[in-house]
Amino acid sequence: MVVWTTGFRAPDLAREAGLAVGDNGRMLVDATMRSVSHPEVYGIGDAAAARKQDGRELRMGCGPGGLAAACAVRAIGDRLTGRTPRQLRVEGDGHCISLGRKDGLVQYTNSDDSPRGPMITGRLAAMFKEAIVSGAGGFGLRHPTLALVAASRTLA
Ligand SMILES: Cc1cc2nc3c(=O)[nH]c(=O)nc-3n(C[C@H](O)[C@H](O)[C@H](O)COP(=O)(O)OP(=O)(O)OC[C@H]3O[C@@H](n4cnc5c(N)ncnc54)[C@H](O)[C@@H]3O)c2cc1C
């Protein structure tokens, strides 16, 4: 058996471009995903250290990256239309891991990463993950505007 654990690392692009970055190399952004050193630049996803309202850094991952993207797009639209840009407010998160085709784990969490609600395991969890990868992910790529609306529902 091989147990393989890995983490993610931000590329050096932001640092090399002269943008303010944290110790882990992620671009430092404000609550609307704007670079704190270069406000004309927005950062989202693994490369940017967005913070939740409690000050915790948004973890790297596809879900948080999508929320940051929705927040950035919304903030850009707000600024272009003269409105006060709405800030990132994440109410919770979800962890979804596939362990092969027949097993997996789904756990929703609160903003502080403590578990929320029951944990789903087994084949149901694997099917759930498959639905996300093949269904929701693909849907978001094909219909980015609708995906943005859906993501916005999880943003305050
Ligand atoms: C094997 C694996 C499994 C994963 N499983 C999960 C999971 O189950 N759940 C989860 O939440 N997350 C998972 N992740 C993490 C998830 O994929 C990332 O967190 C997510 O893709 C980050 O999105 P992003 O848009 O920030 O970056 P990316 O998806 O990495 O997109 C960055 C893009 O920028 C491009 N790029 C890089 N440098 C340059 C450059 N200099 N010029 C132009 N383009 C450039 C890259 O080619 C890439 O297309 C997994 C990652 C891996 C590798």
Per-residue pLDDT of the chain (156 residues; tens, 9 = 90+): 888 888 888 999 999 999 999 999 999 999 999 999 999 999 999 999 999 988 999 989 888 898 899 999 999 999 999 999 999 988 888 888 999 989 999 999 988 889 999 999 999 999 999 988 887 666 666 776 766 666 655 555
Domain assignment present for residue 80? The answer is: yes
The predicted pLDDT at position 153 comes to 54
Closest C-alpha to ligand 1, atom 50:
61
**63 in ligand 1 pocket by Cβ < 6 Å?**
yes
The predicted pLDDT at position 135 comes to 72
Q: Do 84 and 99 fall into the same domain?
A: no
Q: Do 74 and 16 fall into the same domain?
A: yes
The predicted pLDDT at position 3 comes to 87
The predicted pLDDT at position 152 comes to 59
Domain assignment present for residue 106? The answer is: yes
Q: Do 14 and 34 fall into the same domain?
A: yes
The predicted pLDDT at position 140 comes to 67
Domain assignment present for residue 3? The answer is: no
CATH number at residue 23: 3.50.50.60
Which atom of ligand 1 sits closest to the CA of residue 62?
Answer: 11
Number of domains into which the chain is organized: 2
Closest C-alpha to ligand 1, atom 14:
61
Coil/strand/helix, residue 42: strand
pTM for this one?
A: 0.84
Q: Do 86 and 111 fall into the same domain?
A: no
Closest C-alpha to ligand 1, atom 51:
61
Domain assignment present for residue 156? The answer is: no
Range of the domain at 68: 9-90
Summarize pLDDT for 122-148 with one digit per residue, the tens: 999 999 999 888 876 666 667 767 666
Q: Do residues 44 and 50 touch, judged by C-beta distance below 8 A?
A: yes
Q: Do 70 and 116 fall into the same domain?
A: no
Domain assignment present for residue 151? The answer is: no
Which atom of ligand 1 sits closest to the CA of residue 45?
Answer: 26
**46 in ligand 1 pocket by Cβ < 6 Å?**
yes
- Tokens of residue 15, six digits: 């640092």
CA of 69 to the centre of ligand 1 (A): 13
Domain assignment present for residue 30? The answer is: yes
The predicted pLDDT at position 66 comes to 86
Burial class for 153, CB neighbours closer than 10 Å (0-12, 13-18, 19+): exposed
**58 in ligand 1 pocket by Cβ < 6 Å?**
no
CA of 65 to the centre of ligand 1 (A): 9
Q: Do 18 and 29 fall into the same domain?
A: yes
Domain assignment present for residue 148? The answer is: no
Domain assignment present for residue 43? The answer is: yes
Amino acid letter, 83: R
CA of 84 to the centre of ligand 1 (A): 30
